[in-house]
Amino acid sequence: MDARRCFPHLAVPPGSVVTVRAVQITTFGGPKALRPVDLPPPSPTGDQVLVDVDTAGVNYSDVHRVEDTYLVPQRLPLVPGAEVAGRVRGGPSDGQRVVALTPGTGGYAEQAVVDPRAVFPMPDDVPDAVALALVLQGTTAWLLLRGCARLAPGETVAVQAAAGGVGSVAVQLAKQWGAGRVVAIASTEDKRALALDLGADAAVDLSQARDADGVRDLLREANDGRDLDVVLEMTGGHVGDGSLAALAPFGRFVVYGRASRTPQTPVPPTDLIGRSCGVTGFLLAHAVSRPGGLGPAMEELLSLVRTGRLRVVRGGAYPLADAGRAHEDLLARRTTGKLTLTVR
């Protein structure tokens, strides 16, 4: 007897999968909370797109979500992963090779649903790790400098975590777009050497500074004794406060993270009058929902990579089941550039 004829609701269409391998958390915590599991395949809703994942990208926001220290509270169970590279499953683009953003989670799995506004066809000569370095961290760097800071040629820029995923792209874009001086901030000798190799004019270790005044002094020193026009700030605490204090009149302080888990000290807007400074927040999700979305950023970043003017720093590929190790390395500040998970 053909069971599918008697019980059509149980039928599994040819080519569909019953379970997918994924990495999930069921309690909030550190990297050890990440466990390999088999899950039912995700179901796209609305115009979401289903992707067979070859490689998933790892981002610092994944670490925050697993700890539940992200901007908004997270819900359990949770499969982390904000970006994937793979092939579209089903629909008119079936089989198309793409890189894409998930709705924020779901990427650490053999199949993921992705945001239709952030799906980009990938040419065959662009490896997954390169495409993944661009789609979230690269577009963030692009938007921080062009959209938020509106960097003008000749201006000075400080880039925190300059050897990291966002930072390594930001250093290169700032130079590419004519920054007068790029000051790279990084916590180890090797990371500072990498940032200088990527084009930074100076590199400084702010983890040596005990307070905001110390941070401001080190930044000024690294900028030939002058204040800075732009600071890309993702640390928080006294590093954030001292970085704001190192801004020149008409400077822009662009806040996009809080890796220290300590917020920056609030600044009353009237205090900014006396310094003619601007403070801007940035969240990539807002850029995705704007007309045009990430398209212009992806187009330029891909062109820069394919013409050899932008170098992607590959920080390491981990098996999917070792996602916890990738998170451990990120938390311990051992990594540079783009981290990926090999899914198939």
Contact positions toward ligand NAP, by CB under 6 A?
Answer: 59-61, 136-137, 140, 161, 163-167, 186-187, 191, 234-235, 256-257, 259-260, 282-284, 330-331, 333, 335
The nearer residue to ligand NAP, 58 or 151, going by C-beta atoms, is: 58
DSSP state of 44: -
Question: What burial letters (b/e) apply to 10-31, b meaning 16+ CB within 10 Å?
Answer: eeeeeeeeeebbbbbbeeeeeb
What torsion do the CA atoms of 7, 13, 19, 21 make, to the nearest 10 degrees? 180
Which residue type is seen at 192? R
Name the minimum Å distance from CB 104 to ligand NAP.
10
Q: 203 pairs with which residues across the strands?
A: 184
Name the minimum Å distance from CB 134 to ligand NAP.
12
The nearer residue to ligand NAP, 44 or 165, going by C-beta atoms, is: 165
Q: In the numeric block, which tokens belong to residue 123? A: 């040419």
The nearer residue to ligand NAP, 191 or 252, going by C-beta atoms, is: 191
Closest to 116 in 3D by CA, of 22, 40, 55, 44: 44
Name the minimum Å distance from CB 115 to ligand NAP.
14
Q: Closest residue to ligand NAP, Cβ-based?
A: 164
The nearer residue to ligand NAP, 105 or 335, going by C-beta atoms, is: 335
Name the minimum Å distance from CB 204 to ligand NAP.
11
Closest to 162 in 3D by CA, of 204, 117, 128, 107: 204
How far is residue 71's CA from residue 78's CA, in Å, rounded to a whole number? 16
Name the minimum Å distance from CB 64 to ligand NAP.
6
Name the minimum Å distance from CB 21 to ligand NAP.
24
Q: In the numeric block, which tokens belong to residue 229? A: 């026009």
How far is residue 81's CA from residue 142's CA, in Å, rounded to a whole number? 21
The nearer residue to ligand NAP, 33 or 82, going by C-beta atoms, is: 82
Q: Based on the number of CB atoms within 10 Å of its own CB, is 275 exposed (0-12), middle (13-18) or buried (19 or more)?
A: middle
Question: What burial letters (b/e) apply to 185-211, b meaning 16+ CB within 10 Å?
Answer: bbeeeebbebbbebbbbbbbebeebee
Name the minimum Å distance from CB 46 to ligand NAP.
23
The nearer residue to ligand NAP, 88 or 114, going by C-beta atoms, is: 114
The nearer residue to ligand NAP, 20 or 171, going by C-beta atoms, is: 171
